[in-house]
Amino acid sequence: MARTIVHLDADAFFASVEQAADTRLRGKPMAVGGESRGIIASASYEARKFGIYTPMPTARARKLCPRLIVLPGDYERYEQFSNWMFGYAYDFTPDVEQTSIDEGYFDLTSNHKKPALEIALTIRKAIGQSLKISVSEGIASNKLISQIASKLHKPAAFQNVPGGQEKQFLHSLPNKWLPGIGPKTAVRLNAAGLADIGQIAATPVDLLSLLLGGQAPVLRQFANGIDERPLIPAREPQKTFSQQETFNEDVTDEEYVEAVLRRMADRLFATVREEGRSVRTLTVKVRYNDRDENQRAESLREPTDLETDVYGRLRGLLGEAWQRRVSLRMVSLKLSNVYDGVFRSELPLETAAKNHEARERLAVVLDELRRNKGWSVVLRGHDLRLRDAPRDLAHEHAQPRLRISVNRGTPRVTPARATTYVPLRVRSYYTFLDSTLSPAAIADCAKQHGIPAVALTDIGNLHGAVEFAQAAKRAGIKPIFGTELRVNDNPLLLYVESARGYHNLNRLLSQKAEMGGRASPRAQTFLKRREDQRRRSSSRFCFGCRAR
């Protein structure tokens, strides 16, 4: 039974999607690609009338068409349109093979409800009406003929090659239409008098091998319209690549965690390259010691398949995700927005593009070495860092550096050997990036060192007050609640004396938050007055509210 294969090919896909999304671009010469030092990735048919093609340097394209509109690529939108486009084919058959973001095959052999031509025409019209983009279709008995038929008379081509007419369709075409014949091979064949496909079909294989080598038998079959390649329905593409690591002990060493993320990137991107994919979005997730989680994501300007392109972004993502300065139980890295192949909008002659190509070649070599010799055959700097255990930063911060004793209401710095002191300026992990200690850990530390009382003074908040009070009660020490604000770029320590003072301080901080981090005018007046009093008395203040 003869097969019925349809090749679906979108016309100027990236540019057409942009025109479909923005009606102001329709009918105008426009392109998708790099703006200044880049190349044209897709040109509308209005732009092609000026001689603009892919991949042409953008600067040259602008000389050919000064009115050319150049837009950067919107990969998420292209992926969405691609899914919608092939979704119409899935409405009629499950046998769909997507070979790239904008073209593929579908098999209508088993669909007997309607003629294949009618189904192909229905899909073509539906895509045009709903997505506002044009597509070309070729219908034939195999993949080769259907693909050539769809591309021969673009745009908006619709050509059927009935079974038995494959040779008649092919033999008058130039040899460049056969798969595997590029410009250099075409010149060699032309010089040998084999300019047309029909001439290649009539040439014995042994003579053809002198020109084409080992691919001669397959190309001669193609030249005679024979293509036995099966249509391979695509499996559901992998939408993400991810890896996570749960630490044996809770970790506070940010440098160590970043090294773990880089090692994850190494392994994940090796898989991305193996599958011929590229990714555009990175997500870092952390899990704290209390099992609470937080994450941050960032999308690249263009998809990439190189871990070296994302190393510099991992530190920033980790810092943004690690909002609470609490020790971590787990960290994970996820790569999403996955694309087939890699798109570059830079000219190969540019330094950045040359460096990128060099790193791509290096990545291929590293992948091969690690497959054959094991992962540890080549180590990067972060791999060496992971040979050492993470530093215990919480323990380091827990060591008291200063002891402040209270005599007659005036704080005084005393040597570390003093036995009577009350720390009045201690911060928890609720002060971002300034401490890794929980309020409970502060209370336990005070108990361990025999301190009768300790003040928790996080910057601009009282988030740890409840946890601190409960922990201090268990430890048998007196909790002092306070906060630190800045007035005229000077620190001002405010302490709570009573329940009323706690209420007043919370209200003050709430007003400050409502003002976008700035104190309200009333609060500013109050704080300025307190600051003036502090300067005169060289003392601290308690909300009760009175100065002392």
Q: Note if the pTM is more than 0.75.
A: no
The answer for 337, left when phi > 0, alpha when psi is -120 to 50, beta otherwise, is left
Are residues 509 and 540 located together in one domain of the fold?
Answer: yes
**CB within 8 Å of 232: residues ≥ 6 apart:** 97
Please name every residue paired with 541 in a beta bridge, in sequence order, or none if there are none: 494, 547
Sole residue written with tokens 């032309």: 190
- Describe the chain by its helix, strand, coil percentages, rounded to 5: 40, 25, 35
Strand 5-10's sheet: what is its strand order? 96-98, 103-107, 5-10, 135-140, 158-160
The tokens describing 333, both together, are 């890295």
Are residues 418 and 363 located together in one domain of the fold?
Answer: no
The catalytic position among 46, 79, 97, 103 is: 103
Q: What is the 3-state secondary structure (H, E, C) of 172-219?
A: CCEHHHCCCCCHHHHHHHHHCCCCEHHHHHCCCHHHHHHHHHHHHHHH
pLDDT (0 to 100) of residue 539: 40
The yes-or-no answer on residue 103 being catalytic is yes
pLDDT (0 to 100) of residue 341: 64
Are residues 98 and 72 located together in one domain of the fold?
Answer: yes
Q: 385, 410, 426: which is the final residue of a domain?
A: 385
pLDDT (0 to 100) of residue 118: 93
**CB within 8 Å of 514: residues ≥ 6 apart:** 520
Are residues 78 and 198 located together in one domain of the fold?
Answer: no
Residue 20 in any domain: the answer is: yes
pLDDT (0 to 100) of residue 14: 92
Are residues 447 and 528 located together in one domain of the fold?
Answer: yes
Please name every residue paired with 210 in a beta bridge, in sequence order, or none if there are none: none
Residue 206 in any domain: the answer is: yes
Residue 516: domain span: 393-547
pLDDT (0 to 100) of residue 528: 60
pLDDT per residue of the chain (548 residues) written in tens, 0 to 9: 678 999 999 999 999 999 999 999 999 999 998 765 577 888 999 999 999 988 788 889 999 999 999 998 887 788 889 989 999 998 899 899 888 888 999 999 887 778 899 999 999 999 999 999 999 999 999 999 999 999 999 899 999 999 889 999 999 999 999 988 888 889 989 999 999 999 999 999 998 988 888 888 999 999 999 998 888 776 545 567 889 888 878 888 889 999 999 999 999 999 988 888 888 899 999 988 877 888 999 988 778 889 998 998 999 999 899 987 678 888 999 998 877 666 554 444 444 455 767 888 888 888 888 888 888 888 888 988 888 888 765 555 444 444 444 444 444 444 444 446 788 888 888 886 677 788 888 998 888 888 889 999 988 888 888 888 889 989 999 999 888 887 776 778 888 888 778 778 877 777 665 544 455 555 556 556 655 655 554 444 444 333 33
Are residues 129 and 205 located together in one domain of the fold?
Answer: no
Which domain CATH number covers 341?
3.30.1490.100
Residue 483 in any domain: the answer is: yes
Are residues 45 and 98 located together in one domain of the fold?
Answer: yes
Are residues 148 and 189 located together in one domain of the fold?
Answer: no
pLDDT (0 to 100) of residue 413: 44
pLDDT (0 to 100) of residue 348: 42
Residue 82 in any domain: the answer is: yes
The count of structural domains within the chain is: 4
Rounded CA gap, 124 and 128, in Å? Answer: 6
Are residues 210 and 104 located together in one domain of the fold?
Answer: no
